[in-house]
Structure 1
């Protein structure tokens, strides 16, 4: 692209609206404007200059503020749609997502699943939207901050009259101004913390330029924050898993790459006593009954030998004993294990007796470990019980008659037994649940009678690891710095040119014009330097007058 040479001799990049040196208008549109648009100092932006190659078109697309806003709106709408139905991590762990959404929510659930909204926040297209917002922020910032920095850095003290008279605050004064008044004016500028530059009878006073970079500091903070959010999808950077641990049980801690194992020694829960605590909590205890005072899990942390097989417990190295309470997590190797839930007297075993219905004779007992059931139990003397099906959290029968379970946790155990006896060597099938027995293949001669249940306490723990927090904190801090920088300061400039018997005074700020005008009024008070006029009011009044004249002309016609 060809550069544009101004009358003053300065060579400007193609697309520049105002000369970077003297401020003359270089385009016909700028020459017709009553007031200059000083948002980017009239500098050339790449998106308004180049539009030939594919790179140019991509740059121009993402440099548009409208595109950035629409990307944010689309992302917000998509995020809202992801909250209509539960995400896949909140449905029963053993359920097939396709069947679950269809059976629970009908046709809407099927559409919801097929569109990928069931796992929205991990989907490729949602991450692509987040990445697009980041790209838009980067390109928008570069497209504006580079030419703005160049224009502000290269601005001269002596500006063309056409530049000054198109500033919002401007005044021309025909007459002499004494050197003493100029010195008084400069002294007052310094008292207001203005940085003064002088050249051939012209003065440029400037302060608060750093505030112009506030929005771009915001963008940097947002970009870092988005990077931190996307890093959570990188394996090993973020873990937020829930694990249930029963007394005496050992489990590999999720997210630790099978390196750490946790053993529960004892799980205890303490309730508020209605007698001891009645003075403080009597009303609450009367209303809701028992209220938990404290959870505690006594655990042992082990580290697995790297060379041993996963699941093996032969070479577990004890790391430490710990007591986990609410807000007092177990911490190790960037992980924290929090106490979040408790289940008292959870079902552990169930015992049944094989009984002859006619004689009520008992032919042996079967004790089933609800977390590790066997497939068959030999009662000797020709009696045997086979476990054809186990449903830990029985929720009812499907339309095809198949029993269903909500979860692998034994909240409501049910069993499909095959009862083998000398009289019935092929066995008899019986479905047994709590307070429910069904004989799907006809009436049986034997039955499984409930004898008892074994329980134990279980603790609900949340395992967390977040290596992205410092990235999010840095991004948030930088963003707030940008907000403060752009909100509490503003860029102010005052030009004063005294040449050939006339004085020109002009002022510009990126916001808070009335404050700048009051500030200049205080500086020129008591001197022969005139107070500048707010030309935006003059322009507004002129437009209203022209509209009024036009309306009057139509009325006369």
Structure 2
């Protein structure tokens, strides 16, 4: 790495625009950070060297330079926002309704949304936020933020760390705010110092040169923003891992005990009872609204649940026992929380079939006298039933939620809401079965059948729809958002202001610089010199613009 020695004796890194010690412009390097040789110095990072603008040779240098570009970072964010918007057109895979005809994405999107849904699925937008390319895009934004921050933070830190009152005359005379005054007394300079001190400027002196500075911490606002954004991006990536985020939907029947999905078989839930309460139509407060609704409106639906935890005693071959963790009610807006998991009451299904009993009778028997009967457990149906009197029945097909699709029997879901069956009936001492199709409101048997099936009884139960959620990323999102807002406030409501008082050959040069709010800085200076003969500072940028305008007109 080449070094550049200034006439003041300070050795600067290659790429430095303004000497780190005295501030004198280094000839030939002004173009590196955008200084075009005009009267006003480019004070970005106080002229210190940036890696991305200095090193351009190796592959690492080129990658660093690419990601250090603000334009690259902005385009990555724009692409991510556009992709995120596409992901909101249709529900993402985890949010396919539990009561959908099919929760298989390949079927759901085409059946529900037609051709556009099919295209949406084929392009992979149905699982956008968990896709590999979206994760890479988020990671690239994080890489861009880190490299952008380091590329600018390091030179800025070096520049601000070496703030000296004594600067080269070129440095102070080429600031945007400058004034020159002759015959300034020491008392007047002292008044200026005291006034600036009262305005909460920090005063430092060196050989009669004075630097008044305040609000330096505001320069770190953008980098604090970046830290907050990086934490948010990390939280977004962690949200795709099962260790930090879980969002599952499960149906639990009354009296049923099942494993809670996403807990690796560690936790179980038992639905002791489902309760549904409706608004009373006779209640005057809600009568008009209920009549407009035209249907029953739930006031409350809840699940009385018991949570168990699997207890392995450590004995090989021994059955695991279940220890009760908590027993409570799960209601709308009143979830049940345990060991980092949260259960929300999200839906319900009333009167789902539990069992259905059938009888066999002669087809031409007008009294339908029962020859044999059997009961099917619809939650766990058997394939074959051996009955009394030598009869035998095999289940050929079972449609939990029966419907016809182009004349073909199908099931909308696996939930037993409209059951239908294809049974094979074996009479005593026969090997050839008779085929019967039976369901609610339908009973079809072949013309040459001797026997027929009939429904004699059924039982129902209610089913609770619960959302199982675990989210350890929320604290990270909250921390990132808090840090981001601190950076916004830090950079928005404070400014880094500097005023140099430079004695030079019997006159005093007053120069000033700020990263923003030049009007406020001018007011501070006017207040400080109000009781002295020191001239007001001139805004050289406005003066140059006026001269250019006059030159153009002439």
Q: TM-score, normalised by structure 1?
A: 0.90
Asked if 1:211 is matched to 2:208, the reply is: no
Secondary structure of 2:45's aligned partner:
coil
* Residue in structure 2 matched with residue 319 of structure 1 by the alignment: 325
Asked if 1:188 is matched to 2:231, the reply is: no
Asked if 1:410 is matched to 2:416, the reply is: yes
**Cα distance in 2 between the residues matched to 1:396 and 1:344:** 23
Deviates more, 1:180-189 or 1:113-122: 113-122
Give the alignment partner of residue 134 of structure 1, picking from 121, 125, 142: 142
**1:150 and 1:93, CA in 2 relative to 1: closer, same or farther beyond 3 A?**
farther
Residue 232 of structure 1 contacts residue 238 of structure 1 at CA under 8 Å; is this kept in 2?
Answer: yes
Residue 22 of structure 2 contacts residue 167 of structure 2 at CA under 8 Å; is this kept in 1?
Answer: yes
Asked if 1:497 is matched to 2:502, the reply is: yes
* Residue in structure 2 matched with residue 554 of structure 1 by the alignment: none
Asked if 1:224 is matched to 2:231, the reply is: yes
* Residue in structure 2 matched with residue 117 of structure 1 by the alignment: 125
Q: TM-score, normalised by structure 2?
A: 0.90
Asked if 1:393 is matched to 2:401, the reply is: yes
Return 5+ residue gaps in structure 1 as ranges: 550-557
Q: CA deviation at 1:501?
A: 1.6
Query: Following superposition of structure 1 onto structure 2, how do residues 95-494 of structure 1 map, counting pairs within 5 Å?
Result: 96-101=104-109, 108-173=116-181, 175-275=182-282, 277-278=283-284, 280-288=285-293, 289-306=295-312, 315-360=321-366, 361=368, 362-397=370-405, 402-421=408-427, 425-436=431-442, 444=449, 446-494=451-499
Q: CA deviation at 1:487?
A: 1.0
* Residue in structure 2 matched with residue 555 of structure 1 by the alignment: none
Deviates more, 1:91-100 or 1:246-255: 91-100
* Residue in structure 2 matched with residue 72 of structure 1 by the alignment: 77
Residues 141-167 of structure 1 deviation map (CA, whole Å, 9 limit, x = unaligned): 000001100011112212223222332
Q: CA deviation at 1:385?
A: 3.0
Q: CA deviation at 1:313?
A: 7.8
Secondary structure of 2:356's aligned partner:
strand
Secondary structure of 1:32's aligned partner:
coil
Residue 308 of structure 1 contacts residue 315 of structure 1 at CA under 8 Å; is this kept in 2?
Answer: no
**Cα distance in 1 between the residues matched to 2:72 and 2:22:** 34
**Cα distance in 2 between the residues matched to 1:515 and 1:251:** 67
Q: CA deviation at 1:370?
A: 2.2
**Cα distance in 1 between the residues matched to 2:335 and 2:240:** 24
Q: CA deviation at 1:66?
A: 1.0
**Cα distance in 1 between the residues matched to 2:444 and 2:432:** 19
Residues 100-130 of structure 1 deviation map (CA, whole Å, 9 limit, x = unaligned): 5456556655544343322221111111111
Residue 259 of structure 1 contacts residue 306 of structure 1 at CA under 8 Å; is this kept in 2?
Answer: no
**Cα distance in 1 between the residues matched to 2:36 and 2:183:** 30
Secondary structure of 2:44's aligned partner:
coil
Residue 101 of structure 2 contacts residue 108 of structure 2 at CA under 8 Å; is this kept in 1?
Answer: no
Q: CA deviation at 1:98?
A: 3.7
Q: Write out the 4+ residue segments of structure 1 that deviate beyond 4 Å after TM superposition.
A: 91-96, 99-111, 422-425, 436-439, 441-447
Residue 201 of structure 1 contacts residue 499 of structure 1 at CA under 8 Å; is this kept in 2?
Answer: no
* Residue in structure 1 matched with residue 57 of structure 2 by the alignment: 52
Residues 290-314 of structure 1 deviation map (CA, whole Å, 9 limit, x = unaligned): 33222232222222123589xx986
Secondary structure of 2:491's aligned partner:
helix
Alignment RMSD (CA, Å): 2.7
